[in-house]
Amino acid sequence: MGQATVMNNTVLVGAGANQDIQPPITQDWEVTAIGSSVWVGVVPFQLPEVDVSLFDGTIQAEIIQSTDVRGWQRPLKIQINNGNYLRLNNPGGAGANISWSAKLVRYFGAGTSNVVSDLATVGAAATWDVRPGVGYDWKISDFASNTWVGAAPAAVPNIDVNLTDGTLVAQILDPVSGRLWETQLELFAGRTVYLRMTNTAGAPAVLGFTGEIYRYFGAGASVVESILGNAGIAGSVDFQPADGEEWRVTCVAGATWVGVPPLLFPDLTVHFFNGTIASQISSQTDWLMNGHVPEIVIENANYLRVTNTNAAAQNVGVSAELIQRYA
């Protein structure tokens, strides 16, 4: 007999009760859909009455809440394994039929899981680095916290997510901005440039992340091309692949943000640039490319120029991967 690759279930869950989605110890799953027989909210923002948390059997942090659009307005791709899995909670006052679907993404038998995921209690204003070990590249898809901020249906986890090289820091996600929280993230973390979570709540909170090992390269070369630079007043930083390389950019980050929450964006502009002329693809004042994870493919002749539009210097950066090296 073959190995089943589709996992799903519909279960009657009592008021305040939980239903766990936990793969066997030899399998990695990607959860793709969650539903309920009870929906809450005001049309057109009604949502299934289910709270979705990353859970390790002891502590948990919410990825999705039933009262907020964050996380629902995307095709789900939540990576879980036996050690860090999903707990679905029915927060309603009566029982509900709660459903879920998942697919097997890896059967590893006596090997090791490809899911990279963790939970930790992080102090107020403290940081937690999401950084692979030597020889590994990671792709992170979700962040979680047991403390959320903002008014429904626009509340989000009370954390900052930043790109850092240990010295320079540029922000990707902000708890008072809707930017990117409602999308399926693809953030690349390498050993040199990685991700940093900050607990922006006024008290300790349980934080979490999940994703996958994107590549194990051992003594070879990383495919993460995430880079940071400092842009002076009205200055620019070019993100230009070496000759013969092609990159895929999935996020542009900035240290200084402007606007009125929840429409708060990095104070920078992004252009395609060929060394002579430029064409703008993102603005510090508009939703374009701030409302979704971009997929910008660049090479040596046509690359990205990020310009600082703030009144002071700021750090800027990109999350990117190497598509191919052909020369």
d(CA 168, CA 150): 28
Closest CA to 81 of 62, 107, 100: 107
Closest CA to 11 of 2, 22, 21, 3: 21
Q: Look at residue 291 in the predicted model and tell me its pLDDT.
A: 87
d(CA 189, CA 131): 6
CATH class of 221-325: mainly beta
Span 217-273, pLDDT tens digits:
998 999 999 999 999 999 999 999 999 999 999 999 999 999 999 999 999 999 999
Q: How far is CA 207 from CA 60, 143, 314, in A?
A: 8, 8, 27
| Peptide bond before residue 153 is cis, with ω within 30 degrees of 0 | yes
| Listed range (18-22, 91-95, 284-288, 317-321) with the worst mean pLDDT | 284-288
Average pLDDT (153-182) is 96
The amino acid present at 77, given as its one-letter code, is: K
Per domain, the residue ranges of the chain are 6-215, 221-325
pLDDT at 1 over 80: no
pLDDT at 284 over 70: yes
pLDDT at 327 over 80: no
pLDDT band at 200 (very low <50, low <70, confident <90, very high): very high
Span 119-157, pLDDT tens digits:
999 999 999 999 999 999 999 999 999 999 998 899 999
d(CA 153, CA 47): 10
